[in-house]
A and B are shown apart, each in its own frame.
Chain A
């Protein structure tokens, strides 16, 4: 898939995202990224930011990881190497939210 094609798919999906929602990008199958791809990811991140949401990246491949490192694309805590890691993270977040609301009661 080229970046162009990706954008075409991603943009409408973004519009449908709720406030404070989280987008998870599964990069397991992405073997190569260039600046165009970076722009696409940037767009998603910007979009989610305006929604006060998060963009999480899952399992980037070596080349992608290298590129991310060079440009410092995302904060390290938003990159996860495995699904398990991601699930843990999400659970923790949910618990926080729940506890938070409980405290409010």
Chain B
């Protein structure tokens, strides 16, 4: 990030994203011919979901669905624990044997019991991969479908859902890319010139877009609302950020990269270079904007509750030897853009 660099006056870009759809339909998995779920990388053994621990314990406690002494059939609880574990165990090594499946499930007119179970095993992964693809379309484009699916399957193995909602399911993808991708995948991607740090930054940017979509909608501060503030009170004013605002600092220029992807420009994955961006939603429109370092510092100061006076003083320091009237013009241009993008919700005084 170049201190004091001038970012074009209007650099906010509307983000053409739609909300994820959650449906009662069964997803048609990519593999439509074979009935076996594709082999997944073995889940890590140090993760919270190494083998759906709670389910594993219950299944083990129940054995292979033993009968209760007073019962002639397995309990509902033990059937569900077994079934869920069979569906959520991603690797083929953990798939129940045909014999085990046949002792619990029936065969159909055309499919064996194990193949019928396979429909659920495939749908489980396909639905969650689909969900992550909705949240991370640029990550998918960058990696390509196959590598993205490998990444997602590893994520699913490590982070089984514990919520009735999928809205926040993908929230840990940035952290996962940075720290938990596993050496095999990281090494393959590195060979393709894609670093874990770059993917983590790109994921963080895409997740910010999801977050602002779901953040509370409030009426934004309007240009006239800002103009109503008497000049003598400007220094003491504090600006409240809209709940649908996220400020991000990156080690890679991922916002510029994402914009190039959106515009269909073939682009190599960029090398490391500090960058910052803001994502904000105003009404139904999500805006992304590149930020220079002074812009980022100023927004950060305002977001942390500093007065306009203190925040602007700090920003002025970053301009160095830029003439005061030029600096004032730039800052006014920034504010025009931020206000028109709905960054602030109101002006407050102590």
A, B assembled together: no
> Which residues of B are interface residues toward A (Cβ below 8 A)?
none
